[in-house]
Amino acid sequence: MTSQEILIALTVCIAFAAGALSTFVLIYDTGSSAVSLPQNIYGLPLSEMWTIVADQTGVENVTAVLGEAEIVTADDGSVESLNFDFYGENESRRHWYRVSVGPAGTITWDSHEIDKAPAGEHPFALFSEIERIPYRELVDEGAGLIVSVGALSGDVGYNAGYRPLFALSRGTIAPLERVAFSTDEPWYDIAVFYRTENSPSRKGTHYCTLLTLRDLDRAETVDYRDAEFSIGA
């Protein structure tokens, strides 16, 4: 078992008469300039963060598979915590990695060698979609959110009569009426919750679910609420 804790955060605070602007910079030694990662759900560059994580952990990038991810925000959209796990090979050995990003941009991770890794999607592919979710179109501003991402398989159905359901592609969403899966091949459920401070799990109202077009291609049934507003790849 290996364990690493990498502190690569630098906080730059610039004060203005009307308030203060904070930028959180994750610095990694690649010989290039530092990458600025604003810690806010409205424009959180998850794909850039993945590039840093892949570099720091030494995982063979093409072998990486996302397990689960969770983003917790305050009422103003600032990220209080970001946690995810993934699988991948390092020096031809399979590992499970757990990554945490704190509110100040501090990244910590640890890994464990494993015998077998599950099938699934590459973290970059999902993060590049999740980072472009148009939250302002979906939810009320001024509410804390939890975005929970997890892989599922088997026989599962979604119905907009239960909660809002959307297709997601490159920052565009389209309302869905019904989706049904029946496959052993995994897909990823992206669930958005309104945060409840007093809840032990911090998860309050499950507001909506989003599915990427890549995952919808695995579904047996995909019914858009209005076919005119369906989105293509």
Total-model pTM: 0.81
Residues 138 and 186: beta-carbon distance below 8 Å:
no
Q: Token pair of 41, please?
A: 């759900």
Q: How far apart are CA 55 and CA 38, in angstroms?
A: 19
Closest CA to 211 of 143, 145, 159: 159
pLDDT for 7 equals 36
The model's pLDDT over 204-227, given as tens digits with 9 standing for 90+, comes to 789 999 999 999 999 999 999 987
The model's pLDDT over 54-87, given as tens digits with 9 standing for 90+, comes to 999 999 999 999 999 999 998 899 998 899 999 9
Taking phi over 0 as left and psi of -120 to 50 as alpha, with beta for the rest, 120 belongs to left
